Amino acid sequence: MDNFCWLYEKPTCQGRIKAQPEHFVVKENLGFDFAGQGEHFMVKIRKTGENTKYVVNELAKACGVKSRDVSWAGLKDRHAVTEQWLSVHLPGKPDPDLTQFVAEHPGIEVLETTRHDKKLRPGDLIGNWFQLRLLELDKPDELTAKLEQVKCHGVPNYYGEQRFGHNGNNVVKARSWGNNEFRVRDKSKRSFYLSAARSWLFNMVLSARIEQGNVHSLMLGDSLQNTGEDNGFLAETLSPELQTSIDEGRVNITAPLVGDNALPTQADAEAFELAVIEQEPLLLKLIRDNRMRHERRPLLLKPQEMEWQFDGDDLVLDFSLPAGCFATSVVRELIIEREDDDHANFNQ
């Protein structure tokens, strides 16, 4: 991530992140209610130190179904305490007794169960709530101003380290695949490498805009989105009214999640984006060969419900983020993780 620019300059405060799973708490927000009946058994779990797919496999065994019959809205970090819903397809069957399942897995708790008429699918959530404890800060007095900046103006909406794998290995593999050095048949690996390729290009464009000082400023031909909406529209003129809407957070400037079709941007914005993404020809070739659909993502991310308090040299930080956004991108603007923290791993 050191390849990418900071919005408020690189932090000077160092600290520890995820010293314990309890220092990184995540609670899922689906944004809808369950029907209370249906062929899908819904299970709300709290897991500590386990990844979602492991829990899915173990829950499937406990319910007497295949792993493919258990689904989720979002994968959650292993090195954390996380709460999320899982759905188990059990048509015509009673709710299973999960007592033994809980007894055999001390890192997993069942918080609630119900029924629903539809399975959960990846992306079926509106966001997540986080509570982080950042430990042993060497310059806590310098954080208050940064925290206020982040609360008021947001952070770069970067994809976090975990998207790129250990030491960026997913991006390295994606380049090699794009160079026809090997074939990837495994479905999950294909997804990892393609996601890493598009995420890397997005981060490059975002970083370049920060570097040139125009992350908040409208460029002619920018692709824009009204806040809370996915449909885009073009900046056909550099109108003061449109810039005001951006400044006030009602309109977002976006950057590309590159696909095999042409960029939707025009004029200056299109030239800018092309100049950046064409620095990675192998990643572009891979994306186009796999016929991925072009999408857009806002440049900036503004945490909601953001609160904090200091506890000696520790910081306890609460905030909510939309689905697909990374808490590590918020932390990155605040502190530098100590290099000796080999236990703090965002890559799984």
Residue (of 78, 43, 76, 82) closest to 60 by Cα position? 43
Domain range for 264 is: 158-298
Rounded to a whole number of angstroms, the CA Rg of the chain reads 21
Using CA of residue 294, residue 300, residue 305, residue 308, what is the dihedral sign?
Answer: positive
Domain presence at residue 182: yes
- Token digits of residue 87: 């759905």
CATH of the domain at 190: 3.30.2340.10
pLDDT of residue 342: 44
Phi then psi for 262, rounded to 5 degrees?
-70, 155
Domain presence at residue 335: no
Quick check: is 311 catalytic? no
What does the pLDDT look like over 26-52, one tens digit per residue? 999 999 999 999 999 999 999 999 989
Q: Please name the residues in contact with 190: beta carbons below 8 A apart, sequence gap of 6 or more.
A: 184, 290
Exposed/middle/buried for 31, CB within 10 Å: 0-12, 13-18, 19+?
exposed
Domain presence at residue 143: no
pLDDT tens for each residue of the chain, 348 residues long:
888 999 998 999 999 998 999 999 999 999 999 999 999 999 999 999 998 999 999 999 999 999 999 999 998 988 999 999 999 999 999 999 999 999 999 999 999 999 999 999 999 999 999 999 999 999 998 899 999 999 999 999 999 998 998 889 999 999 999 999 999 999 888 999 999 999 999 999 999 999 999 999 999 999 999 998 888 999 999 999 999 999 999 999 999 999 998 999 999 999 999 999 999 999 999 999 999 999 999 999 999 999 999 999 999 999 999 999 999 999 999 999 986 544 444 333
Phi then psi for 172, rounded to 5 degrees?
-60, -45
Number of domains in the chain: 2
292 within 8 A of 260, measured Cβ to Cβ = yes
Residues 292 and 203 in one domain: yes
Residue (of 7, 11, 2) closest to 215 by Cα position? 7
> pTM score, two decimals?
0.90
Point out the catalytic residue in the list 2, 33, 69, 77. Answer: 77
113 within 8 A of 41, measured Cβ to Cβ = yes
Residues 285 and 179 in one domain: yes
